[in-house]
Amino acid sequence: MVAGWFCRSIVMALAAMLSLVAGGCTLDMRIGTGSTAMQATTLPEPTIELRHPSRVVSAGLQISPLSLYPTLMVRTSDTAGRFILDTGGAGALIVTERFLKQAGGRRLANTSTTINGTRYPLAVIPHLEIGDGLILRNATCIISDLDQMRRVCGDIAIDGVLTVGLLQGLELDIDLPNRVAHFRPAHLREQVAGAVELSRPASHAADPRPYAIVRVNGVNVPTLLDTGNYAAIDIPRSLFEPLGVALSQPRDSFGAAGFNSRPAVTQRGTLETIDLGDIALRDAEVHVIPHDEVTEAVIGIAVLQHYRIIYNTHTRTTLLIGAKELTAPAPSPQVVQLVETICRERLR
């Protein structure tokens, strides 16, 4: 993630399973690593629909400076805002107070979520629209100023975060090289010649996000594909040490593992080969993080920016279309330096 979400996905870095009672059903909201608590409340039933159920909905993507996060416009009848499209997020929207007011949303009385000791209010927005006909109704939102997110996105205005967890029942086709996203009903599966289908770890079969098995030195590592993480590859120390490999050109860095989690000294370096299905990542930058609460690796946007990603939320299958070999993927030194600066600011 980034600046406040440094090593994790934007919403995963908010993580821990939360339950809300919503019109008689339970909403699963995975909101980050760390101690999380929420007061329960009764919510309107959230729904997602396509204006034309048999048609693909398309939305242009803008790649944010520095972090390279894909963003798209989310509209209401009265306003529009720029949201990060986050495949690492499994639960609620994150929105700014300003966008919530402009979108006609309402805070939920006496309802909040507490993440690592900080309380965040919750809200509902009655109607949101994406592209040419993807409609979200009664979306549950976490309210945050997203200031650190704005900074790592090159100081462009970020109004919210749209998570894959909200888009269940769809197939997401995120074409990062061509800067467009397509949303189609999950049963209308896209077949692409030459696509690499990634194996999914059985341990994450029920998770709504895109996971893959990455092989390092012959060892399988469960890995999240996360467009809301600026890194090439994050690996927690608990998974890295059993791999029996050493980083080339290791150097100390600084980062944090979750929303409001305490920053710590981390390590960066490269590994000669990492296998992502039939795709070989050569000399990729690896970020080893010491936080014990992190139990999976993450492939971030420094790798994913080169690929078209097709993720079916029903079958939980992921296809990658692009180069079969990628050399030296790494985040820009500028974004790494900025994240380290923000981490140090948080320790003052």
CA distance 183 to 301: 20
pLDDT at residue 64, as a whole number: 96
Count other Cβ atoms within 10 Å, centred on residue 70: 26
Of 337, 306, 340, 319, the C-alpha closest to 68 is 306
Fold equal for 12-185 and 196-346: yes
Q: Measured between alpha carbons, how far is 114 from 146 in angstroms, rounded to an integer?
A: 16
Q: How far is the C-alpha of 184 from the C-alpha of 308, rounded, in Å?
A: 15
Give the DSSP letter of residue 101.
H
Residue-level pLDDT at 18: 34
User: What are residue 50's DSSP bridge partners?
Assistant: 134
Longest dimension (CA), the chain: 56
Task: Find the Cα–Cα–Cα–Cα dihedral 180, 309, 291, 166, rounded to 10°.
Answer: 70
pLDDT of 52 reads 85
For the chain, give every domain's residue range.
12-185, 196-346
pLDDT score recorded for residue 12: 42
Class of 196-346 per CATH? Answer: mainly beta
Predicted local distance difference test score (pLDDT) of residue 257:
62
Report pLDDT for 43: 65
Query: In this structure, which CATH number among 3.20.20.70, 3.30.1360.120, 2.40.70.10, 3.30.70.2740 belongs to the domain 12-185?
Result: 2.40.70.10
Please state the pTM of the whole predicted model: 0.88
Q: Are 144 and 26 in contact (CB under 8 A)?
A: no
Residue whose token pair is 């809300």: 20
Q: What is the mean pLDDT of each run of 10 residues along the chain (348 residues)?
A: 38 35 29 40 78 90 96 93 94 92 91 78 95 94 92 95 93 98 94 95 94 96 96 94 95 75 87 97 95 87 98 97 97 94 83
For 135, residues 6+ apart whose C-beta sits below 8 A from its C-beta are 48, 49, 50, 51, 127, 128, 129
